[in-house]
A and B are shown apart, each in its own frame.
Chain A
Amino acid sequence: MKRSIFKKGLRGFWWLTIGFLYLPLIVVMLFSFNASNSAASFTGISLRWYRRLLGNDAILSALSNSLLLAVISSLVALVIGCLIGYGMYRHRHRKLGWLIVLIYLPIVLPDIVFGISEMTFFVKINELTGLLSPGLSTMIIAHVTFQIPFVALIVYSRFVGLDPSLFEAAKDLYATPRQRVQFFMLPTLKPALISAFFLSFTLSLDDFVISFFTSGPESATLPIYIWSAIRKGVTPEINAIATLMMMAVAIAAIASLWLSRRRTVS
């Protein structure tokens, strides 16, 4: 008897928490279809805010900045992070404590300290050399910096999960270093590389604080655009962009989940 009350209470608490987690997102989605521009009352369904998005050049350029930034930074981080992840694996018997500290640094550093460090540094470099004025290039550098550790750790853990004798086998079969990379490492790494790319991509899209402090006047990304729109006074258009971004994330998540499930089956 007592047990069943406990279980029912727990179940109720679970659904309450789920409601708490999804309520703000549902409200944003709901109001993106609101016919009036009131944030307090829902007057009817309309698509006017979505139509207005299409005519807004600032939003479209923010969207293209976001995508450009995410793709370029993820690709750079993939190459660098993959190399460092393999290096960490191959030389794991050496004392590489300093390297581990270096790799964890971008993860543990508070976002705001990260962003401001980069900003002050870029300003100083710009003052001295005229290079690296704030814009897409500085944002790419900053994003790659926080993406490298994630790629490296994913690649490293993939290698650790492999049977070490596979490396010996490839060598015993007289594979040249290039062949080993081409026929053994890249194929075994492929799933890890795909998920590392997706993770870097979403980390980049999701980032606000670091982008905010390294961006220039022309390089606002979607989160930065949304931020300044909120500061200037809430407009219902934000609900519409936010809804589209949530959809994009949901689709990406389902796709990566589906890919990983298919991989485990085969």
Chain B
Amino acid sequence: MSKTTAVIGRRQAIVRETRHLLFTVTPGAAWIFIFLVLPSAYLMSVAFMSNGPYGLPEMPLSLTSFQQLAGQGFLGWSPGNLLTLMRSLWQTVLSTVLVVLVAYPIAYYISQADIRWRPIMLLAVVVPSWTNQVIRTFGWMNLLAPGTPLAELAEAMGMIAPNMGLYPSNFAVTLGLVYNFLPFMVLPLYAAFEKLNFALVEAARDLYASPFKAFWHAVFPQTLPGLLAGVVLVAIPAFGMYVIPELLGGGKGMMLGNLVANQFAGSANWPLGAAGAILMLIATFIGLYAMRRIGKRLGGGEEVVI
């Protein structure tokens, strides 16, 4: 008798817990499913449809959009889209490397500062990124326009033709990307430097390691998890960037994000845009997966994954 009531009681508890789980989790899970998972699934399906008269997707299913993405058009093959892809990849790699080169010493410097100053210094690095991205990019347009001191300096050094601004150009896009993503790299690197075990550095010095060797064997490996987290936070959004290349890059500085967006605006071709979006998603997931694998091998495991 008492056993059966216990069983019933436990079953009731399970039912209650499950109901609780459903009650708390369902609204949010359903919201994200309906308003993000379904839309992305629909977008992906669009990539496999044909392009209709107004750029809207139509049946029958086809792979034309992927051929177009590879450069196949009415007039035969053209390298335009592939160049855009290569440029996105190149800009992502270049700006990520530059961000690392700037952020590394900065993060180290902050970690060595007086403990009272550190939060303020971190804040100083982060505050500019609170301003809207469009406004920050507009600030760079002001700085790089023809006739500004920076443009005149570049002109005097013979880097650009007279009366040309420093934008639109690929250089301006790289600059904008570095500017935009610097804080994303400083924060995880700082976290790594703060935990740095200096006993290892001293041990290396005691063993007559050169400063470079001491850095390479005692410091660098300890900061690697932070560095990788930063690379994920910088490279993935940089690859899909839209605003910066649109404002600072012009036609010759276009990246994948602009190629995709254009297919949904003026020169409408939804299937082509959707194919580009799929490519971006694949790149994102490969990036996340690769970083997770490397992170696990380093033992930094959980903290590496955002």
Residues of A within 8 A of B (CB): 10-11, 13-14, 17-18, 20-25, 27-28, 31, 39-41, 80-81, 83-84, 86-88, 90-91, 94, 99, 102-114, 116-122, 124, 141-142, 144-145, 148-149, 152, 202, 205-206, 208-209, 213, 222-223, 226-227, 230, 234, 238-239, 242, 245-246, 249-250, 253, 257
Contact = CB atoms under 8 A, between A and B. Distances in A.
Contact of A81 (B28, B40, B105, B109): B28
Nearest to B131: A246
B115 to A, nearest CB: 16
Interface stretch (B30-38, B63-71, B153-161): B30-38
Nearest to B238: A110
Nearest to A253: B130
Contacts of B46: 120
B109 A14 contact: yes
B260 A112 contact: yes
Given A90-B21, A117-B43, A120-B43, 4 more contacts: A24-B136, A39-B145, A110-B237, A234-B142
B199 interface: no
Interface in B31-87: 31-33, 35-40, 42-43, 46
B25 A87 contact: yes
Interface residues of B, number: 70
Given A116-B43, A206-B130, A99 B242 contact: no
Interface in B118-140: 123-125, 127-128, 130-136, 138-140
Nearest to B270: A120
Given A31-B142, A40-B145, A112-B261, A83 B35 contact: no
B39 A121 contact: yes
A110 B132 contact: no
Contact of A84 (B27, B40, B243, B257): B27
Contacts, number: 222
Contacts of A10: 105, 108-109
Interface string B245-262: 001000000000100110
B234 to A, nearest CB: 13
Interface of B: 17, 20-21, 23-25, 27-29, 31-33, 35-40, 42-43, 46, 102, 105-106, 108-109, 123-125, 127-128, 130-136, 138-143, 145-148, 179, 182, 236-237, 239-240, 242-243, 247, 257, 260-261, 264, 270, 273-274, 277, 280-281, 284, 288, 306
23 contacts: A24-B128, A25-B128, A27-B139, A40-B145, A91-B21, A102-B29, A109-B281, A110-B237, A112-B261, A113-B240, A114-B36, A116-B274, A117-B40, A118-B35, A120-B43, A120-B264, A145-B32, A205-B132, A222-B132, A226-B138, A234-B142, A238-B138, A242-B131
B242 A121 contact: no
A230 B141 contact: yes
Contacts of A206: 130, 132-133
B24 A87 contact: yes
B242 A112 contact: yes
Contacts of A41: 147
A40 to B, nearest CB: 4
A110 B130 contact: no
Nearest to B273: A116
Nearest to A21: B128
